[in-house]
Structure 1
Amino acid sequence: MTPEIKQLQQQLARTPQDPALHYELGRGYLALKQAELAQLSFSKALQLAPGHPQILMQLGNAASQLGDEALAADFFKQSLQQDPQQADVHFNLANSLRKLGLNREAIHHYQQALTINPADADTCNNLGNAYRETGQLDLAVAAYAQALKLNPDLLHAKVHWIHQKQHMADWQGLDLAVDEVRTALKQQLQAQIPPFAFLAMPGTTDAEQLQCASLWAQQHYGHIQPLASPATRLPGQKIRLAYISSDFRKHPLAYLVTDVIAAHDRDQFEVSLYSQAKDDSSIEREAFIAAADHWIEIASLNDAEVAAHMRAANIDCLIDLTGFTQNSRSGVAAYRPARCHINWLGYPGSMGKVNEQSLFDFILVDETLQQGHFSERTVALPCYQPNNAQRPQAEAGTRAQHGLPEQGFVFCSFNQSFKITAEVFACWMRILQQVPESVLWLQACNPWATSNLKQTAQVAKVDPDRLIFAPRTSAHLHIARQEHADLMLDTTPYNAHTTASDALWQGIPLLAVKGDTFPARVSASLLNHIGLDECIYEDWAQVEKQAVALANDPVALTALKAKVEKQAKVLFDPLTFRRQLEQIYRQLLE
C-alpha cells in the first residue's frame, strides 16, 4: 500500500460519501495494476455521481486492465454519450475496439480523437496499427511517420514504421532507423520495442534480441505476482500437457504440430489446448479440437483467469506455441501455473526475463539452433520443427496457369515480403542476370511490395516481368503449385520456417545462408537434419555461385532433387517426433 492510498482511505473513513475520494483511490489502484480494487472504487464513485464521464472512462480503463475489452468499450461509449469531446476516451475506446478485432470502428474513433487533439503522437501510432491490421499499409506508414514527427522519441512508432516498410519492400531510410532502434535498446531502460519486429531487422544480434525480449517481458509482465508453487506431482499420474496458442486455426502452425498433438500416448499423457484463436470454421481448427482431450477457449479470459484454470487442472507442462507474435498470451506463464513452462515453435528466439527470472523455464531447440543467447535452459531435439505426416494435396496445374513461362529455370522464394532485404534481393537480381530466361517466383504479399520489387529489378537492369507474383490461395493449391519451381532461395536474417518445409515436401532444394541468430538458422536446422549440408552457406556470394551453377547443370540439379525427395521424408514423421518430445517432457518433470 502506498502512502497516497493509505491517506485516501483515511479520508474516506471520515467522508465516505465523497465521490472524488473514491475516484482518486481508484486511480491509485489502477496505477498499481490492481484493477479489481480500482473497479470497486470507481463503481462506488459512480453510485455517488451517476453519469460522470470521467468515472465511466476509468471504469473502462479498469475493465481493460482486467482483460474485458467488451465491457471496457461499453463504459467508454457511455462516457462519450455524456461528453463526445473527450479525445482520451475516443482513444481508449479505439484501443478496446482494436483488441476486439473491430478495426474499422477503431479507425473512426482514432480519427475523432485526432480531430479534437491533432498533436497526440500516441493516437497517430495506434491509428497506424489499425490501418496495418486492415491491410492499409501505406496509410499505416504515413500515420507512424506523423507520430514520429510529433514525437521523435516514440520508439515503438519507429519500430512499426520499419516493419511495415519491410512488408512493403520499401527499404529507403531503414538502415538509419534500425541503428537508432539498436542504440535506444542500449540506452533506454523503458524502450518499447516489439520483439517480433526486432527479430527481422538486419544487423540485430542474438544478444540484442534477448535484451529486447527481456525489456518487453518486464514492461508487460513485471507487475504479475506468481502463484504459489504447485503441489508435488504424485508418481504414476498421467502427465498433463497444456498447449497455448493464438493459432489453433487455418495457420501454418496447423501443418506442423497437429499430428504430433493428436499422436500423444493417451495412456501416459493428457492434452489440453488453450485457444486464443477466433473460430474460423476451418478444417484445421476442427483437427486441433479433435486432437485434444480438453479444448479451452480463452479469448474472453484474462491471463490470471487462464493461469487459475491451468492450476486447477493440475497442469504439468505449459507449452507456449505463440510467444511474442500476434495475440500473444505469454503473460499466462508469468503466473507460473504449471510445474514447468516451455517456449517452443511459435517464436524463434528467447522470451527473456521478468524480475531477473526467465519467463519460461525451457526452450526446445536443436543442435543448430542452441548456439545463442537464451534466458531459458535449452533442450535439444534432433530437429526443433515437427511436421504433419502429410501436406494438403491438390493438382499442380500447368506452368501457364501460374503465369510461368513454359521453358526456363524457375527460382522461387515464397517467404513473406518483410523477410526480403535489400542485400538478399540484390543477390537474387545478380542470379537472374547470370541465368538467361530464368524467372523468380514470389508470393504476392501486398501491392506495394510487388510494385517496389519490380521497380528495384528495373534499376538492377532485370526485366520486371521476370518477377512472377503468385496470388494468395488455399494451402493445398499453394503447396501443389510449388511443383513447378526448380530451386528455392531463402532469406535472411529471417529464414523460411513452414515455407521451407513446404518446399522440401515438394522435393524443391533450398539454398540458405546460416546466420548468427535463431530466426537466421532455422533453414540450416532443417537442412542439417535431412543431411543436406551442401545447401547451407556462409554468405550470399556462395549462394549466388551455387544457384547459378545448379541452374546451368541439369544433371547436378536432378541429383540434388532426388536427394531431397529421398531424405526430406524424415521431416514428416510425427510419430517419431512425438516419442522424442514425450521423452523430453518426462525428463523435464523429473
Structure 2
Amino acid sequence: MSANVIVLQGLDHHRKGRLDQAEALYRKALAANPGDFDALNLLGALLIQRGAAGQALAPLTEATKLRPRNPDALMRLASVHRSLGDHARAERCYRKLIQIEPNFADGHFNHGNLLAAVGRIDEAAGAYRRCIQLQPRHAAAYHNLAELHCAVGQSEAGLGYFKTLLRLEPHSARAHLGLGLALDGLGRLEEALAANERGLALETAGNDIGAAAAVLGVRQKLCAWDGWTALRDRIGATPPGVSCNTMPFTLLAALDEPALHRRAAEDFMVGKRLPTRAPPSPARDARRIRIAYLSADLHVHATTVLMAGVLEAHDRSRFEVHLVSWGEDDGSAMRKRLKAACHQFHEVRQSPDIDVADRLRSLDIHIAVDLKGHTRGARPALLSLRPAPMQVGYLGYPGTIGTDCLDYVIADAFVLPFDQQPFYPERIVHLPGCYQPNSDARQAGDRKPRQACGLPESGFVFACFNNTYKTTPEVFAVWMNLLRAVPDSVLWLYRDNHAAGENLRREAEAAGVDPGRLVFADKVVLEDHLARIGHADLFLDTLPYNAHTTASDALWAGVPVVTCAGRSFAARVAGSLLHAVGLPELVTERPGDYEALALALARDPSRLAGIRDRLRHAVETSALFAPAATCRHLEAAYEGMYRRWLDGQAPEAFAVPAA
C-alpha cells in the first residue's frame, strides 16, 4: 500500500475524530516515506489538536522546508511557535505567509492575535482591519478588534465594531456580551445590562458563568438587584473544573470567597499571559536596589494620592526608583510630582509588552512592583515576561493575580493573615501596622453648609462614599434598619450614576423608608470631598468589598468608620485602617454586630464624641498618615526580598518587624 493511500486513510480517521488511528497511519506513511509533505503537515495538525505543540514542531518544520510557500503549513508552524513562546519565529512565519498570500484573511487575523498578545496594539488593530477588508463577514476579526479597542479605553470605537458583529451574528451570545462590555465602558449601564441579559439568555449551558458575571457586574453598578442574589449564588457554586470565565475584580464585590477569587484569577489568566521567560540576573553587587513601579494610573488617581508621599520618601542613597507608566498623561500637578519623585520616569503607553520588559531588563531592575493587579488597564502579560528577578503586587488590587509571575504580595497581618496563603500563589509579606500608605498632605477645601450638600439642618447623618457597585442588598437592608431605628436620620451616599440612585430610592421605599432620607453626593475634586465629608456623623462600610481609600479619607476627616470584616483581602481593609488608628472596637465580624454597633453609636452622642476625639488625635500621631514611616517599612520588605534573592533562596512569606 502506497504512502499516499495510507495518508488518505489517516485523514478519514482524522475527520471522524479517531485521532489515535489517524496518528498511527500518518506515522506509518512517514516510515515509508519520511519526506511525505501531507503526512508531515497532517501529523502536525493532529498534534496541535491534541495540545502537543512541542511534538508538532518537528514535523511542521520539516513540512515547511519541503514546501516553504504552503500557507497551511506556515500557519500551523506559526501557531506552534506562538504556543511555545517563540513569538519572533511565529511572527516571521506570519509575515512570510502574508507575503505569499497577501489576500489570505485568516493569515492577517492570526497575525493580529499574535500582535495583540504581545501588546502591539496598533499593529494588531491594523491586521484585524486588513482581515475585515478581505473578508467583510469575518465575525471573529470584528470581535477581537472591538475587544482590543475596549481594553485600551476606546469603548466608542469598540461599540461600533460590536454593532457590526451583532448584524453578522444577531443570535450570538458573544456579540451581545461584547455590546454590553462597550456600553459599560461608556457608562451606558442600563443599555449594557439589557445587552448582557440577552447574551446570558443566548449562552450555551455550561459556558454561561462569564455571561452571568457580566450581568452581575452591571447590576452591581446599577444597584438593580432583581435576580442578583441568584446570579451571585450560581457563580459561587461554580463546580471544580468549570471556568469562572470572568474578570476577577467583579467577584470581589459579590462574594467573600478567597478560594473562588483565586480560581477566577487563574481562569482569567489562561491565554492572557505570555510564556514566562527566565528571570534576568542583574548585578548582585549593586550600590542601590533598583525598584520599578508599574502602573496605568500615574496621574490624578486614588492610587497615586496614596503613593505619592511614599515615592518621595524613598532613600535615594539605597534605592533607585523608576516609574513605568502606560496610562494617560493628564498634565496635572500630580503627574509632575510623580516625575520629580523618581530617578527615571518611563512613558511606555505605545510600547509592546516585550519592549517594556526588555527596557526594564536593560536597566537591571531588581524588583518590579505591580500597582494594577486585575483592574482596568492592567498588563499581566508584561509581568509574565519577567522584567525583573523579583516581582511584587502592591496596593492596586486586593487579591491574587492568580499566577506565579508575581513572587510576593504586600499586605499586613490583618488584611491578609498568613493562613490565607493557600489562596495566593504569591508569598505574603506583612508590613507593620497597615499596608495602605497615606498622604500627610491632604488638603480640605472650604466646608459648605449642610444644606448646600443636600443634608437637612439637623439629624444624624449616616454616610457611605464607596462606589455604588460595593453596595449589596444585604448591606442596604442593614442601612434601612438603621434609618427606621434612628428618627430624623439620613443616609448620605456617593452616586456614580443616576440610575443607581433611583434604584436605591425604590429599594428604600420597598423597605418602608421615605426615599427622601437618602441623600446623594456626586463626584467632586478631592479637596471638596474632604471638606464635605466632615458633615457625616458615622461612616457605614460595605461588605464584601470594604471602603479602602474612602475609609482613610473619612478617618482623616475625623469621621468614625464602622466595618464588618470578612475573610478576603478586599473585605478586611477598613478593619486594618481602624486598627492602625487605635479604634479596633469599630471592627465587627458579623452583620448583626455591625448593625448593633452602628445603632448604639447613633444613640449615644457622648460615646461617639469620645471616639471622634480619639480619632482626631490619631490622625495627628498615627503612622497611618506618615508616608515616610510606611516607606521605611516598604524598603525593609524590599531588602528582605533582595537578601533572599542574593542568597539564592526561593521567595517565602515573611513579616517586616516593627521599627
> TM-score band (shorter)?
over 0.9
Summarize the Cα distance change of 1:154–1:285 in structure 2 as closer, same or farther, 3 Å threshold.
Answer: farther
Alignment length (residue pairs)? 582
Letter of the aligned partner of 2:106 in structure 1? Q
Distance 1:57 1:364, change over 3 A: closer
CA distance in structure 1 between the aligned counterparts of 2:402 and 2:142, rounded to whole angstroms? 34
Query: What's the CA shift for 1:232?
Result: 5.3
| Counterpart AA for 2:465 | F
Distance 1:466 1:200 in 2: 25
Matched, 1:273 2:323: yes
- In structure 1, list runs of 5 or more residues that go unmatched: none
Distance 1:410 1:258, change over 3 A: same
Change over 3 Å in CA distance of 1:174–1:341 after alignment to 2: same
What is the rounded CA distance, in whole Å, between the counterparts of 1:230 and 1:106 in structure 2? 41
CA contact (8 A) 1:339 1:589 kept: no
The structure 2 residue matched to 1:170, chosen from 214, 224, 233, is 224
Partner residue, 1:180 = 234
Equivalent residues of 1:35, 1:65 under 8 A apart: no
Q: Does 1:338 align with 2:392?
A: no
Partner of 2:635: 582
The residue that corresponds to 2:536 in the other structure is: 485
SS in 2 for 1:440: strand
CA distance change for structure 1 residues 22 and 339 in 2, over 3 Å: closer, same or farther?
A: closer
Q: Deviations over 1:377-430 (max 9, x none)?
A: 222212101101122331111111111111111110000111111111111111
Change (3 A) 1:339 1:5: closer
Following TM superposition, by how much is the alpha carbon of 1:366 offset from its aligned partner in structure 2, in angstroms? 1.5
Q: What residue is the counterpart of 2:456 in the other structure?
A: 405
Cα deviation code 1:181-229 (max 9, x no counterpart): 22325232x4423221122123x422332333333345533x5132245
Q: 1:555 to 1:289 in 2, by over 3 A?
A: same
The match for 2:613 is 562
Distance 2:186 2:119 in 1: 23
Give CA deviations for 1:48-68 in whole Å, capped at 9, x if unaligned: 233343333333223222211
Which of 292, 317, 322 aligns to 2:372? It is 322
Answer with 391-400 or 32-41: which moved more: 32-41
2:399 to 346, 349, 369: 349
Q: Is the 8 A contact 1:244 1:318 kept in 2?
A: yes
Partner residue of 1:212?
264
Is it true that 1:92 corresponds to 2:92 in the alignment? no
Give the Cα separation in 1 of the matches to 2:358 and 2:367.
Answer: 14
2:77 pairs, out of 12, 20, 25, with 25
Listed as ranges, the matches of 1:38-117 within 5 Å are 38-117=90-169
Match of residue 252 from structure 1: 302
CA contact (8 A) 1:69 1:99 kept: no
Give the aligned partner of residue 414 of structure 2.
368
Give the Cα–Cα distance (whole angstroms) in 2 for the partners of residues 379 and 267 of structure 1: 24
**Cα distance per residue 1:39-97 (max 9 Å; x no partner):** 32222222223334333333322322221121121222233233323222222221222
Q: Give the SS at the match of 2:214.
A: helix
The answer as to whether partners of 1:259 and 1:388 remain within 8 angstroms in 2 is yes
Residue 196 in structure 1 maps to residue 196 in structure 2: no
Question: Counterpart of 2:146 in 1: which secondary structure?
Answer: helix
Q: Is the 8 A contact 1:185 1:212 kept in 2?
A: no
Unaligned runs of 5+ in 2: 1-52, 644-659
Alpha-carbon distance in structure 2 between the residues aligned to 1:536 and 1:441 = 21
SS of corresponding position for 1:278: coil
Matched AA of 1:295: F
Which residue, out of 524, 546, 555, partners 1:504?
555
What is the TM-score when the length of structure 2 is the normalising length?
Answer: 0.84
Offset, 1:9: 3.3
> 1:227–1:337: 8 Å Cα contact kept in structure 2?
no
Match for 2:129: what amino acid? Answer: K
**Are the structure 2 counterparts of residues 100 and 491 from structure 1 closer, same or farther at C-alpha, using a change threshold of 3 Å?**
closer
The root-mean-square deviation of aligned C-alpha atoms, in Å, is 2.0
Q: Which moved more, 1:76-85 or 1:405-414?
A: 76-85
Contact 1:320–1:330 (CA under 8 A) maintained in structure 2:
no
Q: Which amino acid aligns with 1:329?
A: R
**What's 2:175 paired with?**
123
Residues of 2 paired with 1:44 and 1:573: CA distance?
Answer: 58
Other-structure match for 1:157: 211
- 2:412 counterpart letter in structure 1: D
Farther-moved stretch of structure 1 (465-474 vs 172-181) = 172-181
CA deviation string 1:115-156 (max 9, x = no partner)? 112232222222211111100111222222222222142322
1:369 and 1:525 in contact (8 A); partners too: yes
The whole-number CA distance in structure 1 between the counterparts of 2:152 and 2:402 is: 28
Match of 2:602 in 1: 551
Check the 8 A contact 1:441/1:470 in 2, yes or no. yes
Distance 2:388 2:87 in 1: 24
1:143 counterpart = 2:202: no
Q: CA deviation at 1:105?
A: 1.7
Cα deviation, residue 559, structure 1: 1.5
In 2, the alpha carbon distance for the partners of 1:68 and 1:579 equals 38
1:507–1:208 distance in 2 versus 1, CA, 3 Å: same
- Rounded to whole Å, the distance in 1 between the matches of 2:160 and 2:442 is 42
Question: What CA distance in whole angstroms lies between the structure 1 residues aligned with 2:553 and 2:139?
Answer: 48
2:438 corresponds to:
387
> Quick one: structure 1 residues 32 and 229, their matched pair in 2 at CA, closer, same or farther if it must change by over 3 Å?
closer
CA distance in 1, matches of 2:229, 2:582: 36
2:377 partner amino acid: N
1: CA distance, partners of 2:115 / 2:240: 35
Give me the TM-score of the superposition, normalised by structure 1: 0.94
The Cα shift of 1:3 comes to 4.9
Paired-residue identity, %: 33
Give the whole-Å Cα distance in 2 for the aligned partners of 1:76 and 1:219: 19
Paired letter, 2:540: L
- Give, in whole Å, the separation in 2 of the partners of 1:226 and 1:79: 31
Q: How does 1:462-473 map to 2 (within 5 A)?
A: 462-473=513-524
1:521-570 Cα offsets, whole Å, 9 max, x none, are 11110101111012111222223223223223322222111111111331
Q: Verify the 8 A CA contact 1:250 1:285 in the aligned structure 2.
A: yes
